[in-house]
Structure 1
Amino acid sequence: MIASRSMIQPVTAGLLAAVVGFGSSFPIVLQGLAGVGATPAQAASGLLALCLATGVLGAVHSIVTRQPVSMAWSTPGAALLISTGVPEGGFAVSVGAFIVAALLVTLAGIWRPFGRAVVSIPMSLASAMLAGVLLDLCLAPVRAVGALPELALPIVITWALGWRFARIYAVPLAVVVTALIVFVATPIPAEALADIWPNPVFVAPSFTLASLVGIAVPLFIVTMASQNVPGLAVMRGNGYQPKVGPIFISTGLFSAVSALFGGHAVNLAAITAALCAGPEAHPDPARRYLAPIAAGVAYVLLGLFAAFAAAFIAASPPLLIQAVAGLALLSSLAGALTSALADTDERLPAIVTFVTTASGVAFFGIGAAFWGLVAGGLLMALGHFRR
């Protein structure tokens, strides 16, 4: 009886982490993949690949290390893709950029000096870049209320009430209300749901310099700064000391494989990691590793609904989906702005990075996120310059 009780708590925590993680961010993932040229079938394949990679990696790492190593896909990275736009050459070029970003993560795990150099990137600039990427998407709920008040207001009100009374469920509840509104107001065509069984779609990668600089480098930095580093902090804050090298190497390799089927990036979980690594998972820290195992199984099962989720997103009013995504990312925007402006000496370079990234301007086919880092970095270097 005692053994069964000790199993129930971590398993419940793991299932909750998977459902919240999936429900809160799958619209962002699908929109991000579509934003860089994926068809609905390719986006569904990408979501399936990410679910499988997330589930398998989290379960295997937790079993081997007996530590609660929670995995997730890069939600900030998906938000970055939404603002990037379709590169010249289409989704194949985006997939090539995903692979390069994944190999950079692997390199950070193999070559320690490179890993330390990445971690040493000023957090103010990385956070400011993320905030600039998120800003336009986080404006979507306001735009949706202005354009479609009868449809968008119930979603926003549900999210606000959820935030007040059950914050962890706020975004999933908003997603459920959005689904109900879509089914009532804009029924999904029957042909869109004719084949909802998940089908992996192989995408042959293509590589261009512009996409490597404009997609791969910002995706790598955002994933490391906004997912892997906070994920490690959550684990260490709960008393665990995971080996960084194996985590980066495995997530990089799995990300590269999932990229061939449309996935953009797999990494350490940041927010939902607290559910699996904290006391909520189990009073005994030695038993909490069971939570990510349960979450991994749940992610694999949720991947079976990837095609249905893609069909749902494709048939929904884009502004409503953007509104839900914006609500889901508001807390990330708040955290990014707080981190970007925390250091008074780095505040102005961070603001330059933020406004440059938020502007959406592109030069030489390279997106604004990269130029935001360049502009802020140059101003910071100028401030540190001594004759």
Structure 2
Amino acid sequence: MLRNLKLSHLAAGAIVVLVGYTSSVAIIFQAIEAVGATQTQANSWLVVLGLGMGLTSLTLSLRFRMPILTAWSTPGAALLATGLDGVSLPQAVGAFLFCGALLTLTGLTGWFERLAKLIPDSLANALLAGILFQFGLSAFHALSDDAALVGAMGVTFLAGKVLFPRYAIPVVLLVGCLWAAGAGSFGDLDALTFSLSMPEFVAPEFSLPVLIGVGLPLYVVTMCSQNMPGVVTLRGAGYPPPVSASLTVTGLASLILSPFGGFAFNLAAITAAICAGPEADENPKSRYLSSVIAGVLYCLVGLGGATVISLFLIAPQALIATVAGLALLSTIGNSLSAALAESRGREAALITFMMTVSGVTFAGIGAAFWALLIGLAVTRLTALPLPQPIKT
């Protein structure tokens, strides 16, 4: 395995961890604050979330030889940040355990995998393109924040695609870091904290209102807003996702780590696309090495706890947005091309894409779920036979 390791695998894994933490760690902090955790308990959350993502990503990637990445439930964290008012930490842990049990049961029964197979490839690619579109667009929005930095990275990317396409993204990341360092764009180094964090067990308490009001919605948003796009990401990249096995592994990880702060784990979508795309490796059979690297880095970040996360927080947002957007450009283009390739079903695919890009949310569930439902409905509707004219 090591002899097949490439610089592009290392770069993709590093970008995944950088994007994964900086894009949503602030929401985790809000969820921790909402539940009234102490500093040691907060550090415990950071440790087990990193270890949970790392170990589950390693397990699935090595077992199936696919770029399978897992993540904490970002919409779940947003739900917790707003829905834990008046809920004690032990009651919240009880809700986490309930959600983990539901995730595990979903994987063991296999019903979600059967459902996922009903999604046409055109809709899967349209959904993936829509999910990634905002990240690609963010690279261009970043021009207004730091035009010089983004310009330097953009020029490097274009030159790299011509001169060294295999290493374009690693060089873009290196140029971006050097430019930001030279311009003093990194945050205050005094904000860095140096401490070793350890997991802290919290005994659960089970309250029926909390299980229904927190645990069940946590399960629903994790399935609809995270696991479904995660499945679509792998399918769009050409991999047959082991859906049931992935849900079982992430569900068990949620069950085991819930008392320490690991509230919910699921398949990743955005970061998985970085590892599953051609920028990670031209050979699809060895792209899983990029997710293996990401898994190792997630574990190291988890062990570093608050120290490593404070390092991520001082990175300039323009650098992160640009490297993520450029790394996903090929995947966005390939997905859109596949979604709209066939004239039959093109309207359904386009509606799915546009609904996903809209970002609208209903009942606390994100646009990806509703886009898929509408896309399936349009697909069925357009497949109905046209009424025959009445002969006179």
TM-score, length-normalised on structure 2? 0.69
- Relative to 1, partners in 2 of residues 1:153 and 1:334: Cα closer, same or farther, differing over 3 Å? same
| 1:218 equivalenced with 2:225 (yes/no) | yes
Hey, what does 1:180 align to over in structure 2?
178
Matched residues in 2 for 1:301 and 1:161: separation? Answer: 33
2:17 to 26, 39, 42: 26
Report which stretch shifted further, 187-196 or 131-140.
187-196
1:137 to 135, 138, 142: 135
Whether the 8 Å contact between 2:124 and 2:236 is mirrored in structure 1 is no
Other-structure match for 1:158? 156
Q: Is 1:314–2:329 an aligned residue pair?
A: no
Deviation at 1:306, TM superposition (A): 6.7
SS in 2 for 1:313: helix
How far apart in 1 are the matches of 2:223 and 2:349?
21
Contact 1:124 1:340 in 2 (8 A): yes
- Sort the Cα spacing of 1:25 and 1:370 in 2 relative to 1 into closer, same or farther, 3 A: same
Match of 2:325 in 1: 326
Q: Report the AA paired with residue 230 of structure 2.
A: T
- 2:69 pairs with one of 70, 73, 85: 73
| Change in 2 beyond 3 A, CA 1:310/1:156 | farther
- Percent identity of paired positions between Structure 1 and Structure 2: 25
SS in 1 for 2:79: coil
Amino acid at match of 1:383: T
Partner of 2:344, secondary structure, is helix
Q: How big is the shift at 1:251? A: 5.1
**What pairs with 1:1-387 in structure 2 (closer than 5 Å)?**
10-14=1-5, 16=7, 19-34=10-25, 36-38=27-29, 46-59=49-62, 61=63, 69-70=65-66, 72-74=68-70, 81=74, 86-87=78-79, 89-90=81-82, 104=103, 107-108=106-107, 110-112=108-110, 114-184=112-182, 185-195=184-194, 197=196, 207=214, 212-227=219-234, 230=237, 232-233=239-240, 249-250=248-249, 252-254=251-253, 257=256, 260-261=261-262, 264-266=265-267, 270-271=276-277, 277=285, 300=299, 304=303, 309-386=308-385
Q: Hey, what does 1:64 align to over in structure 2?
A: none
Corresponding residue for residue 88 of structure 2: none
Q: Secondary structure at the match of 1:194?
A: coil
| 3-state secondary structure, aligned to 1:265 | strand
How big is the shift at 1:341? 1.5
- Partner amino acid for 1:54? S
Alpha carbons of 1:245 and 1:216: their partners in 2 closer, same or farther (altered >3 Å)? closer
Superposition CA RMSD, Å = 4.5
State the distance in 1 between where 2:295 and 2:332 align: 27
| Structure 1, gaps ≥5 residues long | 1-9, 62-67, 235-242, 282-289
Q: Which amino acid aligns with 1:142?
A: F
- Higher Rg of the two aligned structures: 2
**TM-score normalised per structure 1:** 0.70
The alpha carbon displacement at 1:355 in A equals 0.9
What is the alpha-carbon distance in structure 1 between the residues aligned to residue 235 and residue 96 of structure 2? 19
48-57 or 376-385, larger mean C-alpha shift? 48-57
Q: Name the aligned partner's letter for residue 166 of structure 1.
A: F
- Helix, strand or coil: the match of 2:361? coil
